[in-house]
Amino acid sequence: MLNSSVRLMAVTISQLLWVMMVPAYASDIQALVQPCTMCHGVDGNSANSGVPSIAGITPEYFAHVMDAYKNEGRNSPMMKQFTHTLGEADIAQLAEFYGKQKFVARTQEFDAALAQKGALLHAKYCEKCHENGGRITENNYGILAGQWTPYLRQALTAYLDNTRRVNPMMITKLKLLEQEAGQDGIEQLLHFYASPH
């Protein structure tokens, strides 16, 4: 009896010491990230095709989109619900956390011939800002290469409907692409982003 309560006390003390030794930052960030994991995955690589992967995005882009969800530059009731209580310091910590995670490109079906046409359209209309075939770069504006296709399709539709606000130059290029290549062109781009390149 005495023996087991002594052991119990030893365990409690060692647990206490452990908790005290872990920097406050670690537990804060875990608590901040926890609600996001059910949709974006534990490390920001989403398993749900309607939810974007956010692993590896730059802190600048992260802060930019958080502001858009809070202030309705992007209309997503779901994301608004999870961002409206976050302060600047929380956003900075989350941005740092996701920026450090490693992005894993999704393996999705694609048609090689359509992807090839999409590559030309990307080079003509999009590469200027979404460098390196839409992969994550230092001046990253979101992930296009290896991102979930259903999410990207929905995001492009929202930009074209003006329900997602963005850099006016991007809208000009996207509308030009729609005019010149139609919905087929948009689908070709999506095949390109789904293909390993």
The 3-state DSSP class for residue 25 equals: helix
* The binder of ligand HEC chosen from 9, 17, 22, 78 (CB under 6 A): 78
The 3-state DSSP class for residue 142 equals: coil
Separation CA 55–CA 101 (nearest Å)? 5
CB of 159 to ligand HEC, least distance (A): 7
Contact 104, 143 (CB under 8 A): no
| Secondary structure element (H or E) that encloses residue 178, with its range | helix 168-194
Our finding on whether 114 is near ligand HEC (CB under 6 A) is no
Our finding on whether 143 is near ligand HEC (CB under 6 A) is yes
Separation CA 13–CA 7 (nearest Å)? 10
Our finding on whether 39 is near ligand HEC (CB under 6 A) is yes
* The binder of ligand HEC chosen from 9, 13, 17, 38 (CB under 6 A): 38
Contact 171, 159 (CB under 8 A): yes
Our finding on whether 192 is near ligand HEC (CB under 6 A) is no
CB of 74 to ligand HEC, least distance (A): 5
Phi (first) and psi of residue 164, to 5 degrees = -125, 120
Going from the C-alpha of 54 to that of each of 6, 125, 148, 162, the distances in angstroms are 47, 24, 11, 23
Stretch that binds ligand HEC, among 2-10, 18-26, 44-52, 103-111 (CB under 6 A): 44-52
Closer Cβ to ligand HEC, 39 or 120, answer by number:
39
* The binder of ligand HEC chosen from 115, 152, 181, 194 (CB under 6 A): 152
Which is nearest to 185 in space by CA: 137, 153, 145, 144? 153
Binding residues among 46-75 for ligand HEC as defined by CB under 6 A? 50-52, 54, 62, 65, 68, 74
List residues near ligand HEC by CB under 6 A: 35-36, 38-40, 50-52, 54, 62, 65, 68, 74, 76, 78-79, 82, 94, 125-126, 128-130, 141-144, 152, 154-156, 164, 166-167, 169-170, 173-174, 177, 189
